Chain A
Amino acid sequence: SQKIEQNSEALNIQEGKTATLTCNYTNYSPAYLQWYRQDPGRGPVFLLLIRENEKEKRKERLKVTFDTTLKQSLFHITASQPADSATYLCVRTPGSGNTGKLIFGQGTTLQVKP
């Protein structure tokens, strides 16, 4: 079956450092990957989308890479702040064929300590 796997262990880093979160996929090659942020008790909020023909995408302090050889996407937050503490979700979208199906990883919780 198609799977999106994220490190389920929480990531703890010091303020100002770069946080790197990993998303691995198996049994298929997603055309697109999205990253969302989820705060406790709230719905996910979209951050970035990257296509398989894009190696890297940036938005302010956020950077996403897509390595189709390794079947992996990395999500980086530079100059991290305590306000970046949240759970980050990697999501595969279907590419061609609009079927309404998103496949989620289980999420990685990031804790940024002051």
Chain B
Amino acid sequence: NAGVTQTPKFQVLKTGQSMTLQCAQDMNHEYMSWYRQDPGMGLRLIHYSVGAGITDQGEVPNGYNVSRSTTEDFPLRLLSAAPSQTSVYFCASIPGGSMNTEAFFGQGTRLTVV
């Protein structure tokens, strides 16, 4: 199993551009989430999904869209990039049945918006 795979690892965008951060997991996990990590702050939840076709907003959803058409994939779309979205983004998955189990994280995408 590859676990949770995020692409790309690094990205530089110009203000106003759009892009999609990819996240795929091969563990058949029900729950998937997107977080951003900024210096001095904990990981903050952007959007999450409890199953295919079901998504919901987290703590900092503005400027981001998600969809979950399959169990495996949970892409994060930046609609119009802003410098405030410069951050490291992590995707995570959790096995279904209980939230209170180990979360598996991808390696992260480091995004810079200039």
Bin chain B's interface residue count: 20 to 34
Do residues A42 and B42 form an inter-chain contact, with CB atoms below 8 A?
no
Do residues B31 and A100 form an inter-chain contact, with CB atoms below 8 A?
yes
- Tell me the bound Cα distance from A93 to B45 in angstroms: 13
Instruction: Bits for A96-114, please: 1 = Cβ < 8 Å to B, else 0.
Output: 0111111111110000000
Whether a CB of chain B sits under 8 angstroms from the CB of A19 is no
Do residues A42 and B100 form an inter-chain contact, with CB atoms below 8 A?
no
Instruction: Find chain B residues with CB under 8 A from A10 CB.
Output: none
Q: B residues bordering A, Cβ < 8 Å?
A: 4, 31-33, 35, 40-45, 48-50, 56, 58, 90, 92, 94, 97-108
5 new A-B contacts, CB < 8 A, other than A49-B102, A98-B99, A100-B99, are A44-B90, A93-B100, A102-B33, A102-B45, A107-B42
